[in-house]
Amino acid sequence: MRSGPGRTGAAIPARLAVTAEDGGPHDPTESPLGGGAADAMLRLEGVAVGPGYGIGTVYLHDTGLSPIPEYRIPSGLVARERQRFADAAERAIAELRTLGQKVRKLPGAAGEELSCILEAYERMLRGSRLVRGVDQRITAERVNAEAAVRIEMTELIGAFSSMEDDYLAARMDDIREVGRRLIRNLGRRPRQPGLTSLSRGSVIVAEELSPADTALLNPRLVGGLVTALGARQSHTAIMARSLGLPAVVAVPMLLRHAHAGATIVVDGTEGAVILNPDADTLARYRARRANFLRTRRNLQRLRDVPSVTRDGIAVHLHANIELPAEVEGVLQAGAEGIGLVRSEFLYMNRESLPSEDEQAAVFSTLIEHMKGRPVTIRTLDLGGEKLGDALGIKPGANPALGLRAVRLSLTRPALLRTQFAAVLRAARRGPARILLPMVCTVEEVRAARAVLDAVVADFRAAGRPLPDPIPPLGVMIEVPAAALSADALAREADFFAIGTNDLTQYALAIDRTDEAVAHLYEPLHPAVLRLIHFATGAAQAAGIPVSVCGEMAGDPRLTPLLFGLGVRELSMASFAIPAVKQRVRRITQPAAERHAHRVLGQPDAARIGALIESFDAG
């Protein structure tokens, strides 16, 4: 991740990889030889997904797949080829179940996380679009099963890679892993066993890592993870945070330059990878790592300390989650609630829509685990490009601007009714809120509320128990139209949640996943800050709560600014909570308001960044 005066995502302390007797990770380079003399030092840039610093030796991990043959099947042997594919799928399912037994032994939330992912893979192998497409291709095109898997996998990955949402684009990892597992079983190729016998301090370097790969490694031996592919919400990223491993993904030219046994530094805070570091670089990163560990120990003491400013004003810190297994990490971080549950995981890797019972069970478990802390559940934020088969919708040319999120839910009200009913049932277990994504107009809020009222009326008519109170209905402010009409929306909504990631993208007309323009993605652009200011002011005038739940919320440098703008609730990745809490406890309202006033008067992001870096909380 880029950092600096104009970028969010600066150093956010989190757990580090391997702790030894002295409280620090093992460093196999602690010798006079340092970074090795054969190759020149090289710095590569990627996406930081697991904060911290790792220093170790490169372990090159290969997927173990050889070139895939392609040939025509005689018409009389098509049935046999289809059966060969079905048998391979059954063997793959058996492998996943064996792995499932292993992952339950992993520490903390990691075991639950991987179990959930492996179960999703098993569902994919039992009749997903990928598996069904392969079977149809064998029949229609009379192509061998391995080639059919490769072709179908390529087409599906192409569809996902065009999406502008990190979470959805990251589902390419699921397709690749299931496809590769099928191909291995078609050829009876064994998996590479090396991850079970790593040397202590190894930094795993790979094109990508699957959940199955993660299940094989011993996190006490790993100094970090680096992959050529990946995204912020890829499984590598999620698991790195769960296991406390420094990690960088999406590193161009990685496999061309990394060599087994070479010394490597993983900067999971800035998103840098240094191959063959010289003595000065090693010394600098050892010092950073030591400071990181000290900071981490200090932040851990803040878990049960209230999040209040020096002048006694509470700032509520909540967590965002992608999957239910992240709840343990939320509680460990000291979050006061879950500010955003992305419900999309219920709809992924399946051909049918989740039932009311299934959704109610998942939401109930989340709410119960939070033990009275509020949980905000966002309704479906997918589009027809992903649910087209199940809903009979033809995907549009531009999914990011097409029929998705609340637009899709209102076009197919049965989707919304099912989700509302599930939340109503779950909310009897504890406090819950409902959040509508990608709202643009007051008409959308009114229509959604009418659906909610109708579901409540149906419950009462059927004698079904209802929560008391009925969950509030909120609006995500993530498109400029919503921000600029926030005063009208505030009269219809019960609360606001400002999604700064999409708000920045739509305000600046920049696809943050497009490498050609990603450097122009700037959350500190004056236009973005003014949209946040207007929306916050509208919520305050209407007397409704307002939170910020994008990446800006998790950047401690921006905490005084957001507080000065009137924000009293922040929702972020759970690992960012301690550092933001520390920042909250150092500021005062008058100083923060003066700071916000000065920032809003600046004409460009560079000057705003300079003010933020130099802010004095006193």
| Known binding-site residue numbers for phosphoenolpyruvate | 342, 378, 501-502, 512
Query: Rounded to whole angstroms, how far apart are CA atoms 218 and 238?
Result: 16
Identify the three-state secondary structure at position 34. coil
Does 235 qualify as catalytic in the annotation? yes
Binding-site residues, in ranges, read 342, 378, 478, 501-502, 512
Q: Count of CB atoms within 10 A of residue 496's CB?
A: 30
The three-state secondary structure class of 337 is: coil
Catalytic (active site) residue 26: no
Nearest partner of 49 among 172, 232, 229, judged by Cα: 232
CA distances from 449 to 251, 381, 418, 600 (A): 45, 17, 14, 35
Residue 600, classified by CB atoms within 10 Å of its CB into exposed (0-12), middle (13-18) or buried (19+), is middle
Q: What whole-number distance in Å separates Cα of residue 553 and Cα of residue 555?
A: 6
Q: Which residues are annotated as a binding site for Mg(2+)?
A: 478, 502
Residue 25: alpha-carbon gap to chain centroid: 26
Burial of 254 (0-12, 13-18, 19+ CB in 10 A): buried
Choosing from 235, 316, 525, 533, the catalytic residue is 235
- Choose among 523, 601, 533: nearest CA to 557: 523
Distance of alpha carbon 536 from alpha carbon 528, whole angstroms: 12
Contact 552, 533 (CB under 8 A): no
**How, if at all, do strands 42-45 and 222-227 pair?**
unpaired
Q: Decide: 110 and 239 in contact? Cβ < 8 Å.
A: yes
Residue 234: CB partners within 8 Å, gap ≥ 6? 49, 170, 173, 208, 249
Q: Does residue 250 contact residue 22 with C-beta atoms inside 8 Å?
A: no
Q: Out of 316, 525, 533, 549, pick the active-site residue.
A: 549
Output the CA torsion 218→224→225→228 (10° steps): -150
- Amino acid letter for position 426: A
Catalytic annotation, residues: 235, 549
